Amino acid sequence: MVEPILDSERKELSFEEQQKTVVCAASNNQDEFDLLTKFSSWNKLKRVVAWCFRFVNNANASTSNIKEVLIVLELNRASNIIVRLVRRVHLKRKSRL
């Protein structure tokens, strides 16, 4: 957009060009399903998801709660997250048909 600027001393009209920035973002939802097919067993997938969520929780916490092994609660939470992800992916596919 060009806006006029009046220079009162010279009584001239000059124009300054202002540039606008356009930002665009794209997302690929296929990445969600890639995680599910990357691991060869249910237990491996469940443990990886549990470790990822522990990392995120420890990173967000003010004090780090580093534990040696995964607890049952973390594994159950990972199972629930995986099931929700599978449902969401397959419901999207079903709705497209």
Delimit the domains of the chain by residue range. Answer: 42-95
Q: What pLDDT, on a 0 to 100 scale, did the predictor assign at position 15?
A: 60
Is residue 24 classed as helix, strand or coil in its secondary structure? coil
Are 22 and 50 in contact by the 8 Å Cβ rule? The answer is no
| pLDDT tens string 1-29 | 555 655 555 555 556 666 667 666 655 55
| pLDDT tens string 22-76 | 666 655 555 556 777 888 899 999 999 999 999 888 888 777 777 789 999 999 9
Burial (CB < 10 A; 0-12, 13-18, 19+), residue 68, is exposed
Is residue 7 classed as helix, strand or coil in its secondary structure? strand
Q: What pLDDT, on a 0 to 100 scale, did the predictor assign at position 10?
A: 57
Q: What pTM does this model have?
A: 0.59
